[in-house]
Amino acid sequence: MWEFLVKDKLDKRSILTLAVGDRSQKIWAKTRGSIEAYADKIGADLICLEEVPLVYPSPHWGKFSIYEFLHKNYDRLLYLDCDLIIRPDCPDLFEVVPKDKIGLFNEGKFTPRSICLHEVKVKYKVSLDGWDGMSYYNTGVMVISRDQRYLFKPPESWKPLRHAFAEQTFLNYRIFDQKVPIHELDYKLNRMSLMNKWLGVSRLDSYVSHYAGVGDLQLILNTIDADLKEWEEKAPAYKYEPHFYITVGGGLGDQVCAEPPLRYLTQKLCPNGDFWVLTKYPELFSHLKNVKAFKETPEIKLPAIYEIDTHPSLTTPLRKYLAHLFCHPVDYISTAMMRRTLPAKEKQIHLEVSEAGRKEAEDYSVKLLVHPGVG
C-alpha cells in the first residue's frame, strides 16, 4: 500500500519515506507532522511506503524504489528515514545540494566504518578505487536527482555482509565503485546520537534530529515527544550552547599552567558555553565566570557533552607526536585541549592572590621560594 500526499499541481520534487511494520508505524505517527510541514514548506509531494517486496532482506531495501520514482514521476527526490524530525527553520535541501550530485552525510568522519567497505572488497572482489579509506555515508537522509537514478536500480542479487547496516553498506559500495559525485551534507542536516561526544551540544541545535541508535522503541517515542515540545517552546530562536567536561591532570605546576588554555577556551572561543572542570585545585579557576570546578567527579545529566583531558593517555594520537617533557606545559595543555597553541599574549598565567595567601607568603623568613616539583 502506498500512501500519497500529492499537491493539486504535479510537482517534480518529492519526499519519500518508509514506514514498514508495527515499530516504524508507531514512530511515523510521532514524526509525520514535522515531515509533512517540511514538505509543505518546500513545495514537495510526500510519499510514504508502507510495504516493500518480500524478496529484500529487510524493509530498508525499499529505498531502491527511488529508481522508479525518479523515472516516472520526479526529477528530484529527498529520501528521509521515518525516525527523524525536522525543525521548522530547516533550509530547502533541494537548494542546498546541486542537481549533479547526491547529498549525503559522511558519518565515517566521526565513527569507524571502514571495516564495512573492507568486507565489501573481499566479498565482491572489487578494488573500490574511488574510496578514500575512511568515508562512509549514512543513507537516512539523501538528496537524489534523476542523474543518480542508476544508483538505486534494484540488485538482482546481493551478498550477505556482517557489517551491512541494512542496505547502507551496499549503497556505499555502489557509490564508491561507480564514483558518484557527492555533496556532503552538514551534520546539522542529519544529526544522530553518534555526534554527541564530538559536538557537546544538544541534537536540537540541528535542523534534522535523527534517532538512529538512540535505544529501544519506547525511549525513541518519548524522546521525540520531548524534542518536539522543546522546539515548540524555543521557537523561533532555537539557541543551544555547547557543554564541556574537562579533566585537568598533573601536579600543581601543570594545573597552574592549565589556566591560560582554560581562560582562552571559556572567554575567547566559547564564552557562552558551560564548563565542568575536575581538578585537585578548584581555587585555581574560581575567577573564570562560566567554569564550575570540582574536586570530585560531578553528576552531570546532559543530552551531549564534549570531554577534554589536559593530560591525555599514552595511547592517544597526541602523545605519539608531542612529548610532554620537551614542550612548555601551557603549549602542551592547549594542544591537548584545542589542537592549537595560544597567541603569545594569551599564554600569561592570570591568578589572583588572596589576602590570606599574601600574608602566608610574607610570613616566610626567606625571600625566595623554589618549587622543584615531585618529578
Reported as a single tens digit per residue, the pLDDT across 317-335 is 666 667 677 788 899 999 8
Q: How confident is the model at residue 2 (pLDDT cuts 50, 70, 90)?
A: very low
Model pLDDT, residue 8: 40
Mean predicted lDDT score pLDDT of the chain: 89
For the segment 184-211, what is each residue's pLDDT rounded down to a tens digit? 999 999 999 888 878 889 999 999 999 9
Identify whether residues 13 and 91 lie together within a single domain: yes
d(CA 57, CA 60): 8
What is the residue type of 306? Y
Identify whether residues 189 and 317 lie together within a single domain: no
DSSP 142-197: EEEEGGGGGGGPPPS-----TT-TTTHHHHHHHHHHTT--EEEPPGGGSB-GGGHH
d(CA 1, CA 338): 52
Q: Is 303 domain-assigned?
A: yes
Identify whether residues 139 and 189 lie together within a single domain: yes
Asked if residue 32 lies in contact with residue 94, where contact means CB atoms within 8 angstroms, the answer is no
Of 97, 81, 76, 102, the closest CA to residue 11 belongs to 76
Identify whether residues 164 and 16 lie together within a single domain: yes
**CATH of residue 116:** 3.90.550.10
**Most confident region among 99-103, 273-277, 296-300 by mean pLDDT:** 99-103
Identify whether residues 47 and 171 lie together within a single domain: yes
Q: Is 247 domain-assigned?
A: yes
Identify whether residues 311 and 277 lie together within a single domain: yes
Identify whether residues 266 and 226 lie together within a single domain: no
Q: Is 371 domain-assigned?
A: no
What is the residue type of 93? L
Identify whether residues 38 and 113 lie together within a single domain: yes
Q: If residue 70 lies in a helix (H) or strand (E), which one and from where to where? A: helix 66-72
Which of these three, 234, 259, 283, is where a domain ends?
Answer: 234
Identify whether residues 70 and 211 lie together within a single domain: yes
What is the residue type of 134? M
Distance of CA 332 to the CA centre of its chain: 27
Region 25-51: what's the mean pLDDT? 97
> Which of 87-91, 353-357, 368-372 is predicted with the least confidence, judged by mean pLDDT?
368-372
Looking at the whole model, is its pTM more than 0.85?
A: no
Q: Is 372 domain-assigned?
A: no
Identify whether residues 226 and 345 lie together within a single domain: no
> In the predicted model, is pLDDT for residue 11 greater than 60?
no
Identify whether residues 155 and 39 lie together within a single domain: yes
> In the predicted model, is pLDDT for residue 227 greater than 50?
yes
In degrees and rounded to multiples of 5, residue 291 shows phi and psi of -110, 130
Beta-sheet strand order (sheet of 137-145)? 2-5, 45-49, 13-18, 76-80, 137-145, 102-106, 182-184
Which of these three, 213, 234, 255, is where a domain ends?
Answer: 234
Region 342-352: what's the mean pLDDT? 90
Of 308, 306, 298, 314, the closest CA to residue 258 belongs to 308
Identify the domain containing residue 316 by its residue range. 243-362
Identify whether residues 226 and 251 lie together within a single domain: no
Asked if residue 364 lies in contact with residue 285, where contact means CB atoms within 8 angstroms, the answer is no
Any idea which residue has 617533557 for its cell? 325
Q: Is 39 domain-assigned?
A: yes
Structure letter (DSSP) for residue 352: P
Which of these three, 200, 234, 268, is where a domain ends?
Answer: 234
Q: How many domains does the chain have?
A: 2
Q: Is 370 domain-assigned?
A: no
